[in-house]
Chains A and B, each alone.
Chain A
Amino acid sequence: MKPILLIVDDEIRVLSALRRTLRKEGYEILLASSPQEALKFIGDYEINAILSDHKMPGMSGLEVLAEAQRQRPNAARILISGWPEAVEPAELAALDVHALLPKPWDDAELKSELARALR
């Protein structure tokens, strides 16, 4: 069975590009364009990994990851941000976030981080 990867970003063009990039990586990909949608997927699916943008309307990516950790503690958590410098390392550590990726991201790094997280 393919691992389920939930991608969260309020920017649908980013979702589209991420799906394109990960098309051949062998994941079942769920795309959520808002934190609310992401919370619904977290409740509905046994996700194996979650890749979330940080700055989104109403709720930050860290908050989404926290909710994922609560409901799906085994799912790997990766945060991706246009301004990673602004993310508090302590908060990442507290949520046991697997990786913090910058935007623009490096495709190879993204793929390898996901693969490692799901190992």
Chain B
Amino acid sequence: MAQSTLVRIVLLNPSPGAPARAGGSESPAVASLARLGAEVGIEAVHTASEAGAHALGHEVDLIVADTGVAAAEVEALLERMRDEGPPVVVVMDADDPEAALDWFRRGASDCVAAGAASEALPAAALDLIRRHRTNRERQTAERRIASLRRYTKNIIQNIHSALLVVDGACRITYANSTAEELLGEPPGSLLGQEATRFFAGEAAADQPLLRTLEKGERFRGAEAWVARADGERVPVAIFCGPMRDDAGQELGAVAILQDQSETRRLQRQLFQSEKMASIGQLAAGVAHEINNPAGFIDANLFQMEEYVADLRRLWRRARALESAARSALEAGPTGAEALRTELAALRAEADEVDADFVLEDLGKAIRESREGSERIRHIVQDLRTFARPDARERVWADVNQCVDSTANIVWSLMKHAVELEKDYGELPALLSHPGQLKQVFMNLLMNAYQAVAAKVGDSGALGRIRIATAVEGADLVVTIQDEGIGIANDDLARIFDPFFTTREVGTGTGLGLSTAFHLVQAQGGRIEAESREGEGSTFRVVFPQTPPDPSAR
């Protein structure tokens, strides 16, 4: 059939070898169909199976069974076309309602008498073709819709993120299978449940979904905890926003939850190794800080041992004097001589050991040593709180205490080059991970120290580092400002990139600032950096204040 053919008709025709549109000798059916127009293509076939093969293989609009075709062939054709395929028009030899009814029963779409064919056939053909086409288009559309639906469903079901849709009352109206797995619920059971119960423990005001529903807020990767039915708690990143229909009417909210367990684990590993690296750098300072008191305590103990030996010698003299005095009392005046001798010996011994000094210095040595052991205890305590892994959940932290104990740890390392200024303001408690906060401050302080050390070098001068904390509006701000070498403008944009370092290989991991940046970001804060090359840098760690919430206390 020609490419331009719009309507395709298969003609089941008894005369073998005759071309379909050969001229006047044709059957009236062919002649009348030809009048439908040039865009009608007629394919003549001679058996039912040929017609069927054609109709099912091509986009055929109509089959016409002409007169003269054996009734058995027409029946076979109708049988074949019964459930699918194009409509079949049977051209009968004569107008015979009985026969027509029979053909209709067998599945014919229309019957036309040969005599009336020139009038009736084209009209019937057109009508049938129109209906068939409409039908075919609808089926195609339905198939495509069903396939699209399956496709979308597959996408939604197979994405590695949990998808939840909730209505205005925060009841779940849709959940994909990842959501069911994440929340630990059997398939299909999430529908109609209150989504808030899966965020239990979180203060209501903090639940992103509720904030989306109530205030229209959008979240991109906010940190949250999912409380599963089995009691397990899973860290998730939540992305959510309001869902509106085409008219802008609020329907609820759409949320995507991503399981962060693995990410968190890797992060913890990275932070731990970064922490170990900083601890390595600290070892020198800490060794120094502990060895000083250890040194003088040790020397003092040694000396105190000698003092005790001195005092023991004195005590022996005192005992001798005691017994001499006793004898003198019994012997009367003759005992006085022995008493005088012992008195002189005690005096001489006391002078020799420098008893007054020994007694005074013994007290001093004990006090100084106790002070030293107290210092060691403090250092170890600071180190321990620093090295201790944080609880998985946030706790109320005193930011001033975090920054101060960190400053104490690094102080011994930097004191030869640094003048430290502290200006702590009154701060409310912050819901956070104190160990991570300390690591952030440690990394920033080490960075400041290295910038200062690079500037003062061996000059003997001291560079200033200023630590300030303050509440600024709704934020809690820790500023660490140094008078170091500063950062070149080109480098400033990259300082938070992992492994970016301007220092020599081997002097830093290049992870300090990037770790600090991510730790702060993960806790909902940010770090701002400002610098002038040659003059120094200012890092501001900004946390939004935790809203006071009685249920979390």
Query: A16 CA to B364 CA in the complex, in Å?
Result: 9
**Cβ-based interface call for B390 (8 A):** no
Query: A58 CA to B296 CA in the complex, in Å?
Result: 23
> Secondary structure at chain B's binding surface: helix, strand, loop or mixed?
helix
**Cβ-based interface call for A60 (8 A):** yes
Are A17's CB and B461's CB within 8 A?
A: no
Q: Of A20, A103, A105, which is within 8 A of B300 by CB?
A: A20
Question: Which chain A residues in 47-90 approach chain B with CB under 8 Å?
Answer: 55-60, 63, 81-83, 86
User: What chain A residues lie within 8 Å of B289 (beta carbons)?
Assistant: 82
Are A58's CB and B462's CB within 8 A?
A: yes
- Pick from B44-52, B122-130, B365-373 the stretch touching chain A: B365-373
Residues of B within 8 A of A (CB-CB), count:
30
Q: Which of A14, A20, A107 has the most CB of B within 10 A?
A: A20
Question: Which chain A residues in 30-62 approach chain B with CB under 8 Å?
Answer: 35, 55-60
Nearest residue, chain A, Cβ from B299: A17
If A13-B371, A103-B294 touch, whether A20 touches B299 (CB-CB below 8 Å) is yes
If A20-B361, A56-B416, A58-B462 touch, whether A107 touches B299 (CB-CB below 8 Å) is yes
Query: A102 CA to B291 CA in the complex, in Å?
Result: 9
Q: Of B287, B290, B302, B368, which is within 8 A of A107 by CB?
A: B302
Are A104's CB and B291's CB within 8 A?
A: yes
If A57-B415, A58-B416 touch, whether A83 touches B291 (CB-CB below 8 Å) is yes
Shortest distance in angstroms between A119's beta carbon and chain B's nearest beta carbon?
23
User: What chain A residues lie within 8 Å of B372 (beta carbons)?
Assistant: 13
If A104-B294, A104-B298 touch, whether A20 touches B303 (CB-CB below 8 Å) is yes
Question: Which chain B residues in 287-329 approach chain A with CB under 8 Å?
Answer: 287-300, 302-303
User: What chain A residues lie within 8 Å of B291 (beta carbons)?
Assistant: 82-83, 102-104
Residues of A within 8 A of B (CB-CB), count:
26
User: What chain A residues lie within 8 Å of B159 (beta carbons)?
Assistant: none
**Cβ-based interface call for B284 (8 A):** yes
If A13-B371, A14-B292, A58-B462 touch, whether A82 touches B299 (CB-CB below 8 Å) is no
Shortest distance in angstroms between B497's beta carbon and chain A's nearest beta carbon?
31
Shortest distance in angstroms between B331's beta carbon and chain A's nearest beta carbon?
39
Are A83's CB and B368's CB within 8 A?
A: no
If A58-B461, A58-B462, A60-B416 touch, whether A17 touches B294 (CB-CB below 8 Å) is no
Query: A117 CA to B295 CA in the complex, in Å?
Result: 21
Nearest residue, chain A, Cβ from B296: A17
Can you show 27 pairs from A to B with CB atoms below 8 A apart?
Answer: A13-B292, A13-B296, A13-B368, A13-B371, A16-B296, A16-B364, A17-B295, A17-B297, A17-B365, A17-B368, A18-B299, A20-B303, A57-B417, A58-B416, A58-B460, A63-B458, A82-B287, A83-B291, A102-B291, A103-B294, A104-B291, A104-B294, A104-B298, A105-B295, A105-B299, A107-B299, A107-B302
Known: A18-B296, A83-B288. 4 other contacts (CB 8 A): A16-B296, A18-B299, A63-B458, A107-B302
Closest 5 CB pairs of A and B: A82-B291, A17-B296, A103-B295, A82-B288, A104-B295
